[in-house]
A = this chain, B = another copy of it.
Amino acid sequence: MPSLPLAPGATLGVLGGGQLGRMLALAAARLGFDTVILDPEPDSPAARVAAHAIVAAYDDEAALAELAAHAQVATYEFENVPVAAVDRLRALGVEVAPGPRALAVAQDRFDEKTFLNGAGVATVAFAAADSPEGAVEAVGRVGAPALMKTRREGYDGKGQRWVEHAADAAAVFQALGGAPVIVEAPAAFARELSVIAARGRDGAIAVYPLAENHHAQGVLRRSLAPARVSAAAAAQAERIAVRILTGLDYVGVIGVELFELADGGLLVNEFAPRVHNTGHWTQDGCAVDQFEQHIRAIAGWPLGPTDAVRGVEMLNLLGHEAHDWARYAAEPDSRLHLYGKRDAKPGRKMGHVNRLRPL
């Protein structure tokens, strides 16, 4: 086990080489750390700013051993990393944060909501099913219309469908591939919010101001932060973050997606055990952004301040929208963040812009 706090000069491992891994590597470099990236794809965005890159499957034994030879502390940039890979790294003496329990819970939508309710955090009503008949019964319990989602995998709106009538449930179950599903009651939400928070190895918790988020086709397009919310909503969001982080004995940054109801109450939609797209505004809105905060947490450093020093409107640049870089570069109040991805496929997250706003 590494000696913590980890001193600068050490190497941090990151499973996943996309934009989140890239921005984590950049933050780690600023603090004097080297990074080793493990990703199945060669030439990943993160690998190109890292000291070492390993190109292999996440569960490749030799690759994990190589990572462990470089890094005493590791993290991951997305929640579909196999838990077995994290367990293997831990067996090799690598301290992986967030830990395997947080990862496992986040990988299964039913386990996630069950954990949340158990921790005293409200969600929509939900039920699990692993057969067409079970799906019909689950929709019957939750009530139609309902959202059916595969319990595992799926992100950005993939792997989910609406069930308009209970009678359709079996067909939708099959259309989703026949894998175990969760059926969720619709949330009659007024706004989508999110809260980014961090927990250090000493148990200290730091919570950023809320962001208001706008999605299209399941993909985040725009965040406004700090969101204009009541003091009660801010306090509730902080309470939610604290319950999740302590309930999971969590270390690192977490992204929690919230539904704000018409009465101002908050439900948790889901959480991601990692830095989060709705937290990109912190790069230009806070003295310590979510990426540095995550590095601080996993390295056993004290957490940094989370108060907003500027308002930010964050715009995701999807696919060809990144071709407008010159326009954003010319805006004095826009801070451009591009991920170095080679191929601007439609809908692909290529970068984002943080437009600075008065607080």
Q: Which residues of A contact B (CB under 8 A)?
A: 5, 7-9, 22, 25-26, 29-34, 48-51, 284, 287-288, 296, 301-302, 304-305, 309-310, 322, 325-326, 329-330, 332-333, 335-340, 342, 351, 356
Residues of B within 8 A of A30 (CB): 26, 336-338
B8 and A325 form a contact (CB under 8 A): yes
Query: Complex Cα distance A187/B305, Å?
Result: 43
Query: Complex Cα distance A309/B302, Å?
Result: 25
A342 and B9 form a contact (CB under 8 A): yes
Also in contact, A48 and B34, with CB within 8 A (given A287-B335, A340-B9): yes
Kindly identify which residue among B51, B301, B332, B336 contacts A48, using a CB–CB cutoff of 8 Å: B51
Residues of B within 8 A of A33 (CB): 340
Query: Complex Cα distance A22/B29, Å?
Result: 9
Kindly identify which residue among B296, B302, B340 contacts A29, using a CB–CB cutoff of 8 Å: B340
Also in contact, A49 and B31, with CB within 8 A (given A9-B340, A338-B8): no
B336 and A31 form a contact (CB under 8 A): yes
Residues of B within 8 A of A322 (CB): 8, 32
Output the least CB separation between A323 and chain B (Å): 9
Query: Complex Cα distance A324/B33, Å?
Result: 15
Question: Which chain B residue shows the least CB distance to A307?
Answer: B332
B339 and A296 form a contact (CB under 8 A): no
Kindly identify which residue among B29, B51, B302, B339 contacts A26, using a CB–CB cutoff of 8 Å: B29
Also in contact, A26 and B9, with CB within 8 A (given A296-B329, A305-B332, A329-B301): no
Also in contact, A5 and B50, with CB within 8 A (given A32-B339, A32-B340): no
A332 and B304 form a contact (CB under 8 A): yes
Residues of B within 8 A of A26 (CB): 26, 29-30, 49
Residues of B within 8 A of A337 (CB): 30
Query: Complex Cα distance A329/B30, Å?
Result: 12
Query: Complex Cα distance A338/B51, Å?
Result: 15
Residues of B within 8 A of A9 (CB): 340, 342
Residues of B within 8 A of A338 (CB): 8, 30-32
Residues of B within 8 A of A5 (CB): 326, 329
Residues of B within 8 A of A342 (CB): 9
Kindly identify which residue among B25, B302, B356 contacts A330, using a CB–CB cutoff of 8 Å: B302
Residues of B within 8 A of A25 (CB): 49
